[in-house]
Amino acid sequence: MRRITIGLGGVSTTARLLEEAAPTTAQRLWDRLPFEDRFTHSIWSGLMVHSNDHPKLDLDVSRYPVIENPVGWIAQGDLVVFPQNGALSLAYGPTTFKWLGSEWIVTKVAELEGDITAFAEAAYKMMFEGARTITITRGGAPLPRPEVSLAGRGKLVEIEFDGGTWVAELYEDEAPEYCQAIWDALPLQGQTTITHSSGETLHCWVQVPEPKSIAKVSPKIIPVEYRGTKVGVTSVAYDPRQLRGQQPGDLVWGSTWNGIRIVYGQGRFGTTGKLGHIVKGDLNAFAEKARGVLWDGSKVIRMRRHPG
């Protein structure tokens, strides 16, 4: 497994090349390292910075958008390539790749490892400070994922699915009415199917009573500081909990259709509120089992209160 080191100012982080999912793109990028360019902040794609003098990857785009490891919804920490011109873009928050307002499919070629907070903060400052030099070099020490501790978290739900068990944290502070409704209804058990219009998202067919009080879904307001002074607030900023957008591992309320949706890959369900996120358990293993539902048919998901 090959890794690359990405440097921005005094911040350095390691990314894992996705050689199995995008072998040609990963090899072309590797062959052109070290790479250095003045990156600028996105003006179309949200929380993302991108190259300007792109590496010449010479990728075949004759079958676009059928490309290696295609992604439309990009998670924070993803390094993606726009195959038409080799542009490198690094997302520090959930986003999509856009140009002139239109969304484009891109190749996900690498993932940042470890805690990306310092890198994300440096990337966000580029909105105020302008272009910054980013270097990408071969090699780098593997960075461990942040330690997963269940202590001090809110309500925890065990999810049993196809022989595996995962633990999700309910976001009580963001969706208290919905979370309480689910908590009161546990334990739950229901058939789980694909969704017909939401991509890689499971529909767990369980009956959860509608909350008496339905909260409006509103963006989280985050204060913005520059050089130690508060300059305003925003609803779009780096968030370790990835509350903006929907990402693999998210639990989403089923709205008037009831039930619970679980995002496991390139999926997004409506505009309803995010209930929580899987915080313990291998998300790749969950996704592998979830993709089996498309071929094998529905499987049972069981949910119960976590004993901790």
- Do 229 and 186 sit in the same domain of this protein? yes
- Do 120 and 195 sit in the same domain of this protein? no
- Do 72 and 131 sit in the same domain of this protein? yes
- Do 182 and 66 sit in the same domain of this protein? no
pLDDT at 214: 64
In a domain, 150, yes or no: no
- Do 23 and 108 sit in the same domain of this protein? yes
Task: Please report, rounded to a whole number, the percentage of residues in the chain having pLDDT higher than 90.
Answer: 68
In a domain, 148, yes or no: no
Give the mean pLDDT of 239-264: 80
- Do 98 and 208 sit in the same domain of this protein? no
> How many distinct structural domains can be found in the chain?
2
In a domain, 215, yes or no: yes
- Do 101 and 176 sit in the same domain of this protein? no
Domain endpoint, select from 82, 112, 138: 138
CB-based contacts of 53: which residues, under 8 Å, 6+ apart? 37, 38
CATH at residue 247 = 2.40.100.20
| pLDDT tens track for 33-66 | 999 999 999 999 999 999 999 999 999 999 999 9
In a domain, 149, yes or no: no
| pLDDT tens track for 282-294 | 999 999 999 999 9
- Do 84 and 196 sit in the same domain of this protein? no
In a domain, 162, yes or no: yes
In a domain, 144, yes or no: no
146: pLDDT confidence band, cut at 50, 70 and 90?
low
| pLDDT tens track for 85-108 | 999 999 998 889 999 889 999 999
Domain endpoint, select from 77, 104, 138: 138
- Do 170 and 209 sit in the same domain of this protein? yes
In a domain, 151, yes or no: no
pLDDT at 36: 98
| pTM higher than the cut 0.85 | yes
- Do 94 and 170 sit in the same domain of this protein? no
Residue 256: pLDDT above 60? Answer: no
Domain with 209, as residue range(s), is 156-305
In a domain, 113, yes or no: yes
pLDDT at 295: 96
The per-residue pLDDT of the chain, averaged, comes to 90
Domain endpoint, select from 70, 105, 138: 138
- Do 9 and 36 sit in the same domain of this protein? yes
- Do 282 and 169 sit in the same domain of this protein? yes
